[in-house]
């Protein structure tokens, strides 16, 4: 029955990873809500809510609408964008936008949906991190917000555990997207360098990330919380900072 399907909110569901997560969950019977700035192409697997998640008031408005129309069971914090800069070229306005979408919006979504999850005695929250939080030149802001997201997830895992809510994180390495292929054409030296640093010998796919998200959302994963799962083909193994 339609009413018994779990309701899952995916932020940033119009991108490559978000679309793969939505498709995977819809195939499993979830009623999926995509909260994104725009719907890049029509997706029959999800109900689309437009919102600029860098805007706190706009975010509050759309979260209120969702709460009035649905009882949310699961949340996937996937919205975000990258920002590559060296220290002396840093834009603090751009950094604030990164904090807003990766951290403030994630916290705002969790705050909005956790009460219904607690009332139901069961909830799943998964945030998308990045292997970049381990450190890389030019990724100081991106690494900062993703590391902050991990700290938030671990703290909230403890705070919400007694309510039946788990909070975990999935951190991808290099993933095959249109943007990745634009910057890393097949056979190019930079592509071969990336491949050489991945023990399994291939670039990840959005579906690899979706599989990890689906694992954390499962009913059977109720004893797993406060964890970060790298989906990186082994690229994070041996890194000094874990």
Q: Would you please indicate which residues are annotated as catalytic (active-site) residues?
A: 142
Q: Of the candidates 106, 206, 188, which has an alpha carbon nearest to the alpha carbon of residue 146?
A: 106
Q: How many residues does the chain have?
A: 242
19: left (phi over 0), alpha (psi -120 to 50) or beta: alpha
Q: How far is CA 69 from CA 6, 56, 59, 96, in A?
A: 14, 20, 16, 31
HSE-CB for 130 with a 13 A CA cutoff: 24
Q: Of the candidates 232, 99, 83, which has an alpha carbon nearest to the alpha carbon of residue 169?
A: 232
Question: CA-to-CA distance for 142 and 82, rounded, in angstroms?
Answer: 6
């Amino acid at each position: 029955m339609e009413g018994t399907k779990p309701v899952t909110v995916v932020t940033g569901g119009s991108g490559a990873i978000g679309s793969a997560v939505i498709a995977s969950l819809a195939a499993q019977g979830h009623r999926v809500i995509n909260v994104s700035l725009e719907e890049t192409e029509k997706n029959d697997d999800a109900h689309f809510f437009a919102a600029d998640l860098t805007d706190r008031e706009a975010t509050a408005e759309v979260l209120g609408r969702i709460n009035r129309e649905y009882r949310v069971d699961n949340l996937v914090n996937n919205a975000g964008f990258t920002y590559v800069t060296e220290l002396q070229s840093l834009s603090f306005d751009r950094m604030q936008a990164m904090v807003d979408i990766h951290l403030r919006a994630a916290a705002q979504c969790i705050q909005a949906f956790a009460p219904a999850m607690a009332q139901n005695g069961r909830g799943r929250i998964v945030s998308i991190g990045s292997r970049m939080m381990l450190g890389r030149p030019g990724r100081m802001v991106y690494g900062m917000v993703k590391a902050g997201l991990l700290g938030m997830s671990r703290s909230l895992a403890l705070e919400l555990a007694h309510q039946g809510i788990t909070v975990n994180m999935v951190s991808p390495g290099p993933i095959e997207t249109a943007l990745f292929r634009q910057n890393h054409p097949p056979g190019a030296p930079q592509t071969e360098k990336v491949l050489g640093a991945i023990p399994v010998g291939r670039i990840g796919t959005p579906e690899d990330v979706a599989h990890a998200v689906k694992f954390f959302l499962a009913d059977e994963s109720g004893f797993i919380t406060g964890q970060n799962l790298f989906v990186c083909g082994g690229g994070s193994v041996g890194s000094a900072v874990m």
